[in-house]
Amino acid sequence: MSHNLILIPLTPLLLCLIWCIPRWRETACRLTPLAVLPALLIGLSGAAMHIELPWLLLGSDWLVDDLRRVFLILTALLWGSCSIYARGYMAGDAREKSFHLLWLLTLCGNLGLIISADVVSFYLFFALMTFAGYGLVIHTRSVEALRAGRIYLIMAVAGEALILAGLLLSAAQLLTPGSLLLEEFARANATSTYQNLIIVCLFAGFGVKAGLPLLHMWLPLAHPVAPIPASAVLSGAMVKAGLLGWIFLLPTGMVNLPYWGVSICLIGLLAAFAAALIGVQQQKTKTVLAYSSISQMGLLTTALGAAFIQREIWADLLPVIALFAMHHALTKGVLFLGVGITQYRTRLPMLILATAICLPALSLVGLLSSGSHAKLSLKAALYDDLLPDWLLPAITLSAIATTLLMLRYLWLLSQNVSDNSNSEKSPLPNSMLLGWLFTLAASLTAVYWMPLATEPVYPTGNPGGWLGMLWPVLAAALLAEIARRHWKTLPVPPGDLILPIETLLRQIPIIFRKFQRSTTALHEPVAEHWADYGDRVARYLEHQFENRSLIATYFCLLTLLLSLLLLGAYFV
């Protein structure tokens, strides 16, 4: 039975091979929703599975345990429903067939990294998901999409390089030489001589995917330009790959590192609140949802930091993190798919449509179903005397940030709500409606039957407990009304910091030209040599910045950073 694990990554790959035969290409596109079927069935089976493949790569080891089963189910549910949705959404698109090929490759990487128990398989599938996902981001080939794709690729390569550096440093300290198991790497990192450097590399490397502050800039650029089903899986499932990387490779639950724990908690809370502050200034619904994902991943980052402060809570905290990840993935998927629903004319009564759109928003703020279950469970797991006193109040206040983002999302979405009298909109394809409703049903119910399910911690019979859940939402509604009356949104561009960074880096050729002119005061032969050399370098830099944006500069900075890190590790 364990051999069925091979079907999880193999099914989408076989569909890719079928796609490569021109006369079967349409068939492969129609069968795309079935690519998640083995993963979903294995996840729901409840059986632990393990298989060793010594002939694959350097010897692969694949595993399904309770934790991986949660991520397998949420990934299969979201990708499957979005595949159904994409059948209608992409119909008539000139690049529909190429979209399905890249979709299958990205799905293969996403599913494969979840079941990987060895480093080589995990890194291979992670890289496949990352670089195939680039094709989904630039699908429209518009100027905005190509720019977002460049930023995505730059930051992805930087993240991959940091991950690789962290893995190589970990391998040097393995307690079992020659082992490639992820758990062996995590144990080595708990006692490694290079522990701090390894944590920096792995935390930042996977943090690119998870949207850490200063590493988040690709998210709000990629989501608005990608097709809606691609945005849903990018934000719901693919960002969880960064969380899995942290869980599998960082020494969480193995050692107390209070300085690291406090730092990670503060980084997570910065993401939770800063993303909300920037997100409510945005003018596009998908951009608001992108910043919401950064904010929600900040809460998961905070939970991870708490486990570094007090390692004894990790056993109880891990199921809650899995619960929160499933809640966020499916709920955010519904919210993204809802954006596309409002762009079509639907026969659904307006009241039913509005209710179905508001339900996941209420869940995300913590008032309904999986949202209240996940957030109350998270606070219960973090209730420990040895954790900082400010941690729980900060998480409670984050509900205000989430509510403000959802109010902004609903307000922007209301501008596009379908009206039966609006004849300019096309009829809603049945597959889009089916995919959306399937995701909605899963987001509202999956939390109760998922593996590692925790007991509900609703404050039954405790009015004060219910008030504690409700007051952040009421406070956010009041703030939103005050802002509507007296606050004008700031012109914060999507990607926020990326624009000033680009502007600053484009000044490099100008500065180089000024330096080149200053050499005229030198001895004439030397001046002529430097003037000619400086002129050629300046023209080259101008050409690179004009045609390659930040790619050349980022690679230079990345090479310098990795050289310094490895040099520092050598002398530690």
pLDDT tens, position by position, 315-338: 989 999 999 999 999 999 999 999
Residue 537: predicted pLDDT:
62
Contact of 203 with 247, CB cutoff 8 Å: no
Which helix or strand (DSSP H or E) is residue 51 part of? strand 49-53
Rounded to 10 degrees, the C-alpha dihedral 139/342/492/302 comes to: -90
Residue 391: predicted pLDDT:
92
Domain-embedded: residue 500: no
pLDDT above 80 (res 547): no
Residue 226: predicted pLDDT:
93
- Which range has the worst mean pLDDT, 128-132, 165-169, 277-281, 460-464? 460-464
Q: Verify that 481 and 550 share a domain, yes or no.
A: no
* 387 C-beta neighbours (distance < 10 Å), count: 19
Contact of 549 with 147, CB cutoff 8 Å: yes
Domain-embedded: residue 437: yes
Q: Verify that 42 and 153 share a domain, yes or no.
A: yes
Residue 418: predicted pLDDT:
52
Ordered DSSP codes for 54-111: TTSTT-EEEEE-HHHHHHHHHHHHHHHHHHHHHHHHTTT-TTHHHHHHHHHHHHHHHH
Q: Verify that 473 and 552 share a domain, yes or no.
A: no
Q: Verify that 138 and 217 share a domain, yes or no.
A: yes
Q: Which of 458, 486, 514 is the last residue of a domain?
A: 486
Strand partners, 355: none
Number of folded domains that form the chain: 2
Residue 559: predicted pLDDT:
46
Q: Which of 486, 514, 529 is the last residue of a domain?
A: 486
pLDDT above 80 (res 556): no
Residue 567: predicted pLDDT:
45
Domain-embedded: residue 493: no
- What is the pLDDT of the chain when averaged over all its residues? 84
Residue 555: predicted pLDDT:
47
Q: Verify that 127 and 179 share a domain, yes or no.
A: yes
Domain-embedded: residue 494: no
Domain-embedded: residue 551: yes
Residue 535: predicted pLDDT:
64
What's the rounded Cα separation, in Å, for the pair 103 and 133? Answer: 8
Residue 178: predicted pLDDT:
73
- Which range has the worst mean pLDDT, 127-136, 196-205, 396-405, 513-522? 513-522
Q: Verify that 259 and 407 share a domain, yes or no.
A: yes
Residue 519: predicted pLDDT:
56
Q: Verify that 190 and 121 share a domain, yes or no.
A: yes
Q: Verify that 386 and 264 share a domain, yes or no.
A: yes
Residue 572: predicted pLDDT:
44
Q: Verify that 288 and 392 share a domain, yes or no.
A: yes
Q: Verify that 537 and 397 share a domain, yes or no.
A: no
Domain encompassing residue 187: 2-486
Q: Verify that 415 and 532 share a domain, yes or no.
A: no
Q: Verify that 185 and 225 share a domain, yes or no.
A: yes
Contacts of 525 (CB under 8 A, 6+ apart): none
Domain-embedded: residue 199: yes
Q: The whole model's pTM is what?
A: 0.87
Domain-embedded: residue 491: no
- Mean pLDDT along residues 133-147: 92
